Amino acid sequence: MRKIKFLAQVDVDTCIGCGACQTLCPTEAARVVEKKAQVDESKCVACPNCSDFCPVDAITMVPRAEPRIVYLDYSRVDPDKITELCRKANLHPHQWGCMCNGTRVREVAAAVLLGAKTLEEIALMTGIRSGCTAYCVHHMLRLLKAHGVEVEEPKNHRWYNSIQTIWETPKEVEEKYPGHFFEEDRKIFRKF
């Protein structure tokens, strides 16, 4: 669950329309329209990317009048289907999907099963990708892939489709790198 207490606010006089905010916004709330950045209040999850990366400091995070709660009630989805999708993705439902706001993988899986097809949609449904915006990308991509959803990598560097795991590491590579506990670590994940 994510309690969103702040909102990105653009100083349009300072904004130079470079698009850095648009590139890095995890929910596509920030967009450049007619050479000026705009922020969709309904989509902003108050991660600090836009304000941190703005080269001219045109964006500040201001308190919202009322915090917005973003939470996906995963009980809406058949728990067996959640488990099945997680198994396919080699993820545990209780695992952290987002450590920043305590969202578990089961919520992300539920979002995918409810029809989310992009990282941005999952973020808007669950509140994931609203903190560091970094580590949660991995879970989302694995679950989308396991559900058969083809993702299109953005043209900019918002994220790259790179999700290697211990499960696909070729045997010959493991043999080339002895002493890295591949099978022992797989056993930990197999306890699920």
Judged by beta carbon, residue 20 or residue 116, the one nearer another protein is 20
Contacting residues toward another protein, per CB under 8 A: 1-6, 24, 46-49, 52-53, 61, 92, 94-96, 99-102, 130-135, 137-139, 157, 159-160, 162-166, 168-170, 173, 176-177, 179-182, 184-186, 188-189, 191-192
| Token code pair at residue 97 | 């999907």
Judged by beta carbon, residue 12 or residue 132, the one nearer another protein is 132
Cβ at position 192, least distance to another protein in Å: 5
**DSSP three-state, residue 36:** strand
Residue 104: its H or E element: strand 103-104
Cβ at position 137, least distance to another protein in Å: 6
Which value, in Å, is the radius of gyration of the alpha carbons in the chain?
A: 19
Contact partners, residue 35, CB within 8 Å, separation at least 6? 17
Crossing angle for the helix pair 136-146 and 105-113, to the nearest 10 degrees: 40
In whole angstroms, give the CA distance from residue 144 to residue 151: 8
Say if residues 75 and 106 touch (Cβ distance below 8 Å).
no
192 CB neighbour count, 10 Å cutoff: 13
Cβ at position 25, least distance to another protein in Å: 11
| Token code pair at residue 13 | 């006089």
Judged by beta carbon, residue 40 or residue 185, the one nearer another protein is 185
Judged by beta carbon, residue 92 or residue 115, the one nearer another protein is 92
Cβ at position 95, least distance to another protein in Å: 5
Alpha carbon 189 to its chain's center = 22
Cβ at position 117, least distance to another protein in Å: 19
Judged by beta carbon, residue 115 or residue 178, the one nearer another protein is 178
Cβ at position 34, least distance to another protein in Å: 25
Judged by beta carbon, residue 58 or residue 100, the one nearer another protein is 100
In whole angstroms, give the CA distance from residue 102 to residue 98: 6
